[in-house]
Structure 1
Amino acid sequence: MSNNKIVVGSEEWCALPQLNIPAIKVRVDSGAKTSALHAVNIIPFKKDGIPWVRYEVHPLQNVGKTTIYCESPVLDKRKVKSSSGFGEIRYVIKTALAIAKSSWEIEITLTNRDSMGYRMLLGRQAMAGKILVDPEAAFKLGELSTHILKQHYKVYNNKPSGLKIGILASNPDLYSNRRIIEAGEERGHQMEFLYIKDCYIKLDGKNPEMHYRGGRILDDFDAIIPRIRPSITFYGCALTRHFEAIGVYVQNSAASITQSRDKLYSLQLLINNGLPIPTTGFANSPLDTDDLIKMVGGAPLIVKLLEGTQGKGVVLAETKKAAESLINAFKSLRANILVQEFVKEAEGKDIRCFVINGKVVESIMRTAAPGEFRANIHMGGTAQLVKITPEERRIAILAAKTMNLKVAGVDIIRGHHGALLLEVNSSPGLEGIEGVSKKDIAGLMIEAIEKDLKPKKIN
């Protein structure tokens, strides 16, 4: 204590007793005005005519199975700008903060902090008159051991009693993979991350097996969620196909992933089902360059590598000369490319529809950063919720069905003559769409598996 104020470091443990949270690690940030608490599945409702909000808190970082269900009166709805510069409307509640044997009420906003390093941020408004910060120190009030945390949260831990689900991917720290694991654990399933490069196959007519590093046989999984990066499509799909062969449910089949990664083949499948796409050309010889440019309406035009994804391998040629040089350069490298009309009226915007089991569960509009033509959030673009038209919904659902994908990200642009389908992604990212919508998309993916495996008893 200093002048009756509590001296804390840059990170500390505190409690929120009114929310039944006995311990949560907070980032102490006097640069932030508002305090924030990690919350998901935030649902407003009314109790005796008064606005309340129902939400779930996972107080321990990267431990999705520890879930506390909370309800609080709504104090306010406020626009808050995050450290990344993104503004959002958040619910504000008032609750007691307990720290160093002292307790007082603070205002706190509810938001999804999965991408942040702490499940709670303590801002200066909550510290005023009560706390002094020593920014060079940490845990001045003491650390909490893993044993103590386990005792605190023992009653809240969901025991895995449902399905055993594997995430077949390359990076366990990727937001999407972490969220899927967390969502599965929240629902009582046993989740495991399987590194693609650590899996290998035994081909045997009588006893085929999937092996994992160290010789472990993977023979007890109920479901596999493939999240295969483009650079390892061939091997990842070989593993997915083998899981299918040994009777394991896979959320997206190897065949559907393979065809979605082949831009030319996927476009052929899509137009065969009557889906509208930008005019596209494909040729083998540089001798056909001039006609190829003409068939897509001339420059400006888009050149795409057949195996590119997430905006990689996509180039805008603004003049005919630039298009000729670009196409001929790719051809000299024996790279397979598509040439596609540039839909100028789209104004650097596209719509990402997230489809799960034949239903569009959320849609966002992505806008390209200044100077960019691709609407890519990871390249400085922005995103917001968008209401799609019945025709856009039909296109998204039919596109996913055509590609035989149970989970898909369908990208659409709006042209003068209506919606045009750009691409169908078999491993759509969750960070952008969950960040904008605040919807538990990962949870919907897990629920889709539960429904597909309904005949299997899920306790």
Structure 2
Amino acid sequence: MNSNQKTIIGSEEWCALPEIGAPAIKARIDSGAKTSSIHAFNIQAFRRNGQRWVSFELHPVQNDQRTSIRCERPVVDKRTVRSSSGIPEKRYVISTPLTIGEQTWEIELTLANRDSMGYRMLLGRQAMNGRLIVDPSLSFTQGARTAQEIEDLYDTKEPPRTGLKIGLLASDKKLYSNQRILEAGGERGHEMLFLNIKQCYMKLDATEPEAHYRGGSLLNDLDAVITRIRPSMTFYGTALTRHFESMGIQTVNSSAAITQSRDKLYSLQLMLKNGIQIPTTGFANSPIDTTDLIDMVGGAPLIVKLLEGTQGKGVVLAETRKAAESVINAFKSLRANLLVQKFIKEADGKDLRCFVIDGKVVAAIERSAPPGEFRANIHLGASARVVRLTAEERSLAVKAAKTLGLSVAGVDIIRSATGPLLLEVNSSPGLEGIETATGKDIAAMIVSSVEKKLRWKPPIHTD
């Protein structure tokens, strides 16, 4: 096929994957990407007649987790692919026919969790070679699909609500974690409301307390509120959470637990009081005490942490005593409260993120810092892989969450020569890194936790 016979397509097109059972799936056309990928979850490898196969599930319609297709395909390969966030991932590769317009041909697809992406499928240049020409100014050159057509193809009619009314108290509806919780709740039959913290307000009254949302909507009929409060909104967010609690509305997590977790110094003191080991840590108010503060944690190299820092911000590695003195005194001149902490060299830039729900570790990953970085933080480009925890590490994570009273927590642990040490406990842990690495539906587990607390069970349908 010469260039004159190639089909012109736009930056997005409706495709079909007939052998997978997807009659319509919207794809992002990206000639800058070599490989193509499809959204997949619950990925399980198995053998059939001596050959490697993989089973997976697919939500073919964006922002719809109710419509699901289960697929099985032979494994073509398993490759390391760099995701859009720059993190290398090992992905299974399958082969299947693709239909665009009137053309059908075989392509390779990598299986990846694309819940955070705008499209369930990405079509790369390898699949387009010799057949297609991309005009990025165009869209749906091979025909558009209406919402009604998609509904008819997949039977995506909204089921009647028979569940709970759950509010998600947060700041940004578009965040991956918030989207996942809203989708998971809707999929389980609940009415999910996103509540922007800044747009909530309250009436304090001994007999008729009320919670309102923008425009005057009354929130008193909520069954539960899932709290995901960013650090900058801790004061007002916990005030709202206390108000919901005073009205008898179930909250996940509680205001008291969130407040304790956000005070880094106090939370570390609580850990030590409950027998949980942490890296040797120092705290002082005056720059005069800098030298002794450095000696207390064993000298340089050491870590300097701002008490108000989050997601790796406000954390500095001082590799020499002189550098440590400069950083500490600079922060103190700005009247910033900080912790000085022993640097655990043998950890080699790695830590463990344990996701705890209701006293159980439901998932765990090991995060590795990128080259030239000492912090194993996903927001800073760290890679992640599934890890098997020791019994001691699992026990530490559960105990740390319990100490702060958190029913949902991200517990960060570092492996040292003397055993596991607690780094930090996050009361609003992100879901993207751990769901992507483990393939587990953490969002559904959080919603399930609410159901158990309220003793709610899905209705039994009879013919």
Structure 1 length-normalised TM: 0.91
Give SS of 1:207's match.
Answer: coil
Alpha-carbon offset, residue 316 of structure 1:
2.2
* Range with greater deviation from structure 2 (170-179 or 149-158): 149-158
Q: Which residue of 2 aligns with 1:69?
A: 69
Q: What is the match of residue 409 of structure 1? A: 410
For residues 287 and 319 of structure 1, what CA distance do their matches in structure 2 show?
19
Paired letter, 1:10 = S
Residue of structure 1 in register with 2:193 after alignment: 192
Shift of 1:273: 0.8
Q: Following TM superposition, by how much is the alpha carbon of 1:344 offset from its aligned partner in structure 2, in angstroms?
A: 1.9
Assess, with a 3 A threshold, how the Cα gap between structure 1 residues 397 and 29 changes in structure 2: closer, same or farther. Answer: same
Distance change in 2, residues 1:156/1:95 (3 Å): farther
Q: Which residue of 1 aligns with 2:347?
A: 346
- Aligned-residue offset at 1:227: 0.8
Shift of 1:152: 3.4
Is residue 87–residue 382 contact of structure 2 (8 Å, CA) maintained in 1?
no
Note the C-alpha offset of 1:163: 2.0
Range with bigger deviation, 80-89 or 17-26: 80-89
Tell me which residue corresponds to 2:10: 9
CA distance in 2, matches of 1:64, 1:330: 47
Q: Which amino acid aligns with 1:123?
A: G
Distance 1:55 1:243, change over 3 A: farther
User: Which SS does the other structure have where 2:26 is aligned?
Assistant: strand
Q: Deviations over 1:17-47 (max 9, x none)?
A: 3444332111223444433211222234567
Higher mean C-alpha displacement, 21-30 vs 78-87: 78-87
Q: Name the counterpart of 2:212.
A: 211
Structure 1 pair 129–389 and aligned structure 2 pair: CA distance change class (3 A): same
Following TM superposition, by how much is the alpha carbon of 1:80 offset from its aligned partner in structure 2, in angstroms?
4.2
Residues 1:50 and 1:330: Cα distance change in structure 2 (over 3 Å): closer
Secondary structure of 1:395's partner?
helix
Shift of 1:383: 2.2
- After superposition, the C-alpha distances for 1:39-78 in whole angstroms (9 at most, x for unaligned) are 22223456788765443322232x1344223222333342
In the alignment of these two chains, the number of paired residues is: 457
Q: Counterpart of 2:138 in 1: which secondary structure?
A: coil
Q: Which amino acid aligns with 1:194?
A: L
Q: Identify the residue that residue 303 of structure 2 maps to in structure 1.
A: 302
RMSD of aligned alpha carbons: 2.5
What are the ranges of 5 or more consecutive residues in structure 1 without an aligned counterpart?
none
Q: Supply the distance in 2 between the matched residues of 1:3 and 1:309 (Cα, whole angstroms).
A: 55
Cα distance, 1:188 vs structure 2: 2.4
Q: Retained in 1: the 8 A contact 2:311–2:379?
A: no
Shift in Å at residue 313 of structure 1?
Answer: 1.8
Give yes or no for contact 2:150–2:156 (8 Å, CA) kept in 1: no
Q: Counterpart of 1:183?
A: 184
Other-structure match for 1:377: 378
CA distance in 2, matches of 1:302, 1:83: 30
1:2-151 equivalence runs, <5 A: 5-44=6-45, 53-61=54-62, 63-84=63-84, 85-128=86-129, 130-151=131-152
Shift of 1:348: 1.9
- Rounded to whole Å, the distance in 2 between the matches of 1:322 and 1:5 is 61
Greater Cα shift, 66-75 or 220-229: 66-75
CA contact (8 A) 2:94 2:110 kept: yes
Could you say if the C-alpha distance between residues 48 and 150 of structure 1 is closer, same or farther in structure 2, counting changes exceeding 3 Å? Answer: same
State the alpha-carbon separation in 1 of the partners of residues 222 and 143 from structure 2: 41
Partner of residue 320, structure 1: 321
Partner-residue secondary structure (3-state), 1:231: helix
How far apart, in 1, do the equivalents of 2:156 and 2:346 lie?
Answer: 56
Q: State the Cα deviation string for residues 205-255 of structure 1 (Å, max 9, x = none).
A: 011111001111012222211111111101011111111111111121111
Alpha-carbon distance in 2 for matches of 1:378, 1:3: 45
Among all aligned residue pairs of Structure 1 and Structure 2, give the percentage whose two residues are the same amino acid: 63
3-state DSSP class of the match of 1:304? strand
Query: Any idea what the Cα deviations from partners look like across 1:247-277, whole Å, max 9, x if unmatched?
Result: 1111211110100000111011101110001
Matches of 1:450 and 1:96 in 2, distance apart? 41
Aligned CA distance change for structure 1 residues 394 and 222 (closer, same or farther; 3 Å):
same
Separation in 2, partners of 1:161, 1:47 = 41
Report the Cα offset of residue 158 of structure 1.
Answer: 4.7
Question: In structure 2, what is the Cα distance between the partners aligned to 1:268 and 1:352?
Answer: 21
In 2: Cα distance, 1:133 partner to 1:220 partner: 51
Question: Does 118-127 or 255-264 show the bigger shift?
Answer: 118-127
Is 1:431 equivalent to 2:429 in the alignment?
A: no
| Cα shift at 1:144 | 2.4
CA distance in 2, matches of 1:157, 1:131: 37
Larger mean CA deviation between 269-278 and 77-86 belongs to 77-86
**Amino acid corresponding to residue 79 of structure 2 in structure 1:** K
Q: Secondary structure at the residue paired with 1:276?
A: coil
Shift in alpha-carbon separation, 1:335–1:49, aligned structure 2, 3 A: same
The answer (yes or no) to whether the contact 2:185–2:447 under 8 Å persists in 1 is yes
**Which segments of 5 or more consecutive residues in structure 2 lack a partner in the other structure?**
none
Query: Does structure 2 conserve the Cα–Cα contact (< 8 Å) formed by 1:158 and 1:186?
Result: no
Alpha-carbon contact 2:88-2:383 (below 8 Å) kept: no
- Alpha-carbon separation, structure 2, partners of 1:185 and 1:279: 45
The residue type equivalent to 1:100 in the other structure is G
Contact 2:76 2:95 in 1 (8 A): no
Cα distance in 1 for partners of 2:269, 2:289 equals: 20
Q: Is the 8 A contact 1:363 1:388 kept in 2?
A: yes
Q: Distance in 1 between matches of 2:14 and 2:117?
A: 17
* TM-score normalised by structure 2 residue count: 0.90
1:77 touches 1:89 (CA, 8 Å); kept in 2?
no
Question: Relative to 1, partners in 2 of residues 1:130 and 1:300: Cα closer, same or farther, differing over 3 Å?
Answer: closer
CA drift of 1:397 comes to 1.0
Question: 2:294·2:340 contact (CA, 8 Å) conserved in 1?
Answer: yes
Which one-letter code corresponds to 1:234 in the other structure? F
Q: Per the alignment, do residues 329 and 80 of structure 1 end up closer, same or farther by CA in structure 2, a change over 3 Å counting? A: closer
- Residue 339 of structure 1 aligns to which amino acid in structure 2? V
Q: Report the secondary structure of 1:250's partner residue.
A: strand
Query: CA 1:174 to 1:305, structure 2 compared with 1: closer, same or farther past 3 Å?
Result: same
**CA distance in 2: counterparts of 1:319 and 1:53, whole angstroms:** 51
Deviation, 1:111, is 1.5
The 10-residue stretch of structure 1 (200-209 or 157-166) with the greater mean CA deviation from structure 2: 157-166
Q: What is residue 442 of structure 2 aligned with on the other side?
A: 441
Q: Secondary structure at the match of 1:275?
A: coil
More deviation, 245-254/230-239: 245-254
Spell out, residue by residue over 1:293-344, the C-alpha distance to the aligned partner (whole angstroms, 9 max, x if none): 2211122222222222221222222333333333333333332222211222
What letter corresponds to residue 112 of structure 1 in structure 2?
Answer: N
Alpha-carbon distance between aligned partners in 2 of 1:59 and 1:309, rounded to the nearest angstrom: 35
My pick for the range that moved more, 315-324 or 49-58, is 49-58
The residue that corresponds to 2:292 in the other structure is: 291
